[in-house]
Structure 1
Amino acid sequence: MPKRKSMQDDACPVARSLDLVGDRWSMLIVRDAFDGIRRFSDFQRNLGVAKNILSDRLSNLVAEGVLEVQPASDGTSYQQYVLTPKGESLFPVVVALRQWGERNLFADGEPHSLLVDKDSGAPVAVMLPRDHAGQVLTPLNTVVKKIPAQ
C-alpha cells in the first residue's frame, strides 16, 4: 500500500493536526490514554487493533511528543505510555468529537457512553467556540486568513 502524502509542512493547522492524529487508531489510542490505559497489551485488547498497526501508531505518537514511554508504575519490567502535556491538550478535541458523535450518530434514546464531571456526575457541557466576549461563534462569524501563495 502506498504511503500517504505527509501534511507536516502544510500551512493549514487542521491538515497538520490530521497528519498526526487523523487516522482512527491514533485518536482512539489518545482516547484510551485519557481513560487510563497505559500498556501496549491493554491498548491492543481494548481496541482490537493488529499489533503491528498499534506499534506503528504508538511509535509515531511518541516520536511526535503526544505520548512518552515510562517504566511501568507498578515496578514491573513493562513500559507504559503516558500522555505528555501536548497529548493532554488534545482533550478538548476528543470531547468535541464525542459530543458531535452524540448529537449526530445516535438515534434518539440509543444508549452510548457518557462523559461526566467526576465530582458532580453531571454530563460535561457542550463545547462551543466563543469570541473574546464569550459570544458563541459559528462559521458565519469566522474567516480563515490564508497565507498568500508564493
Structure 2
Amino acid sequence: MAASRIRQEDRECPLSATAQHVGEWWTLLLLHDAFDGYTRFDQFQQSLGISSSMLTSRLRTLVEDGLLERRPYQTNPVRHEYVLTETGRSLRPVIVALAAWGNARLRPEERSMILVDAASGEEVEPVIVDAATGRRLDDSQAFVFAAGPAASPAMRARYENGTAGTAGTAGTGTAATGAAS
C-alpha cells in the first residue's frame, strides 16, 4: 500500500504501518512461499505465475522493508536468493492466522491447505492468545484497543475509555495497552 493511501490520522496506527509493508496481494503470497522454503527468484515466479517485473519490484520492497535478505548463492553469473530475516519470520503467525480465518469459512473437504503438527501430522486449529493468560484474543468484549504511551492527542481521543467505534457494545475501561499479536 502506498504511503499516500494511508489516512493522516492513521499514520501512527500500527495496523496502518503493517498494511503499508504487507497489505498487498503479491507480498502476502511471496511471504507464504518464503515460509514454505522458497528462496530463489525462479521458484517464486514458477509458484506464483507472477511477471518478472512485478516479482522484482515486490522482492526489492521486501528487502528494503527488512523482511527478506538478498544473499548471493552463485558467483558466475552472480545469482541471489531471498531469505527471511528475523523480522520477516516474525510475520508467520499473521500468515497462519489469515489462512486459518480463510479455512474457517470453508467446509473441511473444501480446504486446499491446512496447518498440521509437524511431528504427528494432526490438523491443528490456530488461535491467537494473550501470552500472559492464555486467553483467546478473538473476544471483542474482553479485549479492545487503547491508546498507547506514544499516542497523539487524536489517537488518545479515539481510544478514550477503550471504546473506539464500539457504539456502546464494549468497553469496560480496562482495555489492554500492549501491541496486538
TM-score, normalised relative to structure 1? 0.85
Alignment identity in percent?
Answer: 37
AA in 2 matched with 1:114: I
Q: Is the aligned partner of 1:94 residue 2:95?
A: yes
Q: What is the alpha-carbon distance in structure 2 between the residues aligned to residue 4 and residue 50 of structure 1?
A: 24
Residues of 2 paired with 1:32 and 1:133: CA distance? 32
Write the letter of the residue equivalent to 2:129.
Answer: P
C-alpha deviation, 1:76, in angstroms: 7.3
* Farther off after superposition, 119-128 or 31-40: 119-128
- 1:26-47 alpha-carbon deviations (Å, 9 max, x no partner): 0110100010111111101100
Cα deviation for residue 136 of structure 1 reads: 2.1
The answer (yes or no) to whether the contact 2:100–2:125 under 8 Å persists in 1 is no
Q: What amino acid is the match of 2:63?
A: V
Aligned 8 A contact 1:67 1:81 in 2? yes
* Per-residue CA distance 1:1-49 (angstroms, 9 max, x = gap): xx66254981111110011000110011010001011111110110011
Match of 1:20 in 2: 21
Which residue of the partner structure matches residue 5 of structure 1? Answer: 4
CA distances 1:76-123 after superposition (whole Å, capped 9, x unpaired): 74210000000000010011011101101x245214112222222122
Structure 2 residue corresponding to 1:149, chosen from 125, 149, 154: 154
- Is this contact kept in 2: 1:6–1:19, CA < 8 A? no
Tell me the residue number matched to 1:62.
Answer: 63
Maintained 8 Å contact 2:3/2:20: no
Paired letter, 2:102: G
SS, match of residue 56 in structure 1? helix
| Greater radius of gyration (CA) | 2
Please report how far the alpha carbon of residue 70 of structure 1 lies from its aligned counterpart in structure 2 after TM superposition. Answer: 0.8
Hey, what's the Cα distance between the residues in 2 that align with 1:140 and 1:51?
46
Q: How many residues align?
A: 147
Q: Identify the residue that residue 132 of structure 1 maps to in structure 2.
A: 132
Residues 70 and 82, structure 1, Cα contact 8 Å, conserved in 2: yes
**SS where residue 4 of structure 2 aligns?**
coil
- Unaligned 5+ segments in structure 2 are 156-181
Secondary structure of the residue that 1:123 maps to in structure 2? coil
1:125 Cα shift?
3.4
What does residue 169 of structure 2 align with? none
Q: 1:15, 1:111 → 2: CA distance?
A: 30
Which amino acid in the other structure matches residue 50 of structure 2?
A: V
Give the conservation status (yes or no) of the 8 Å contact 1:70–1:80.
Answer: yes
Query: Which segments of 5 or more consecutive residues in structure 1 lack a partner in the other structure?
Result: none
